[in-house]
Structure 1
Amino acid sequence: MGRHQPGQGRTGPRRLRHRATPLGPLAPGPDHLLVAEGDDGHICGYALATPPNKGQSWIVSLAVDPAVQGMGVGRQLMRETLKSLRAAGTGTVLLWVEPANDHAIALYESLGFVRDPAGTRPDHFGPGADRLLMSLPLSG
């Protein structure tokens, strides 16, 4: 796996679309699963967020196929997700990121997210699973 190389047969996202989750009644409120599909129909990335709760939403997961990393898929997914969350009434978006994931942190910071002043939370998700909290206030 690695970055996209010409001739590999993968392309960037042809379209982004919201998909229904199979959770039914376990997932109340608007759907915040956004999927990026390539020209060949494969899923090349997704973003999953929570509906707003007391004005806050969480980015639960952002993933991009390694074959198309560096082509703007993650940025596109995040921009559309933030747009959707803003329309749903979210005032603040929060997310956890691995402190060593420099590419993700750079993406989030370029979108306006800021690091929590408390810094890295050691063992937040269990032994050795440190996380950094980042937040983005959304303006009307």
Structure 2
Amino acid sequence: MSKMIFVNLPVTDLKRSKAFYEAVGAVNNPAFSDDTAACMVLSDTIYAMLLTHDKWRQFTSKPIVDAHANAQVLLCLSAGSRDDVTGMVDKASAAGGKADPTPVQDYGFMFGRSFEDPDGHIWEVMWMDPSAIPPHG
């Protein structure tokens, strides 16, 4: 079985956040969603768990970081092409996100852009030419 990742994100408005992630291509899994959380499927192995602040506090007593003012993580998704990178950032921007809060990266063989969701969480989207990836040894 492939490893899976569940990225837990505190959100201030669950309905707005769910709509945002659907706009950038995620699909809601209602089996793991309710009025306090939404499981957004990004791929067969990547899930974003959107949690209300009250739900988040059930997992940790640490304060919730204001992601508009502070960064705790930078999340990165791969894309199939340069156009897919730009397409996802454009969708995020059209859905109320902020395009390119981090510098655009263009190295020819690798291209990356980013977006902020409505709560300020930064997602990078990158494409790399598969022929430029060294063999894994």
Which has the higher relative contact order, 1 or 2, with Cα contacts under 8 A spaced 6 or more apart? 2
Tell me, yes or no, whether TM beats 0.5.
Answer: no
TM range (shorter): 0.3 to 0.5
After TM superposition, the score normalised by the length of structure 1 is 0.33
